[in-house]
Amino acid sequence: MPAPKQDDAREERIAMEIVVDCYNESEAWSGWQCYLENKLVFPFQAKCIKERRTSPLKMGEQVTVTGMLDDDEAADSPAEMQVEIKWQGRTLGVPLAQLQGVGVNAATAEAIADWQYWIAQGRQF
pLDDT one-digit tens code per residue, 36-69: 999 999 999 999 999 999 899 999 999 999 999 9
Answer yes or no: is 1 within a domain. no
Answer yes or no: is 23 within a domain. yes
Q: Provide CB contacts within 8 A for 37, sequence distance 6+.
A: 68
Assign residue 85 the CATH number of its domain: 2.30.30.530
Answer yes or no: is 3 within a domain. no
For residue 16, what is the DSSP state?
I
pLDDT of residue 122 exceeding 80, the answer is yes
User: In this predicted model, what pLDDT tens digit does every residue of 73-115 receive, in sequence order?
Assistant: 655 566 789 999 999 999 999 999 999 999 999 999 999 999 9
- Partners of 45 in beta bridges: 64, 102
Structural domain including 72 reads 8-120
- Could you list the beta-strand ranges (E) of the chain: 44-48, 62-68, 82-87, 90-95, 99-102
pLDDT category, 71, cuts 50, 70, 90?
low
* Coil/strand/helix, residue 68: strand
Predicted pLDDT at 72: 65
Number of structural domains, the chain? Answer: 1
Predicted pLDDT at 20: 92
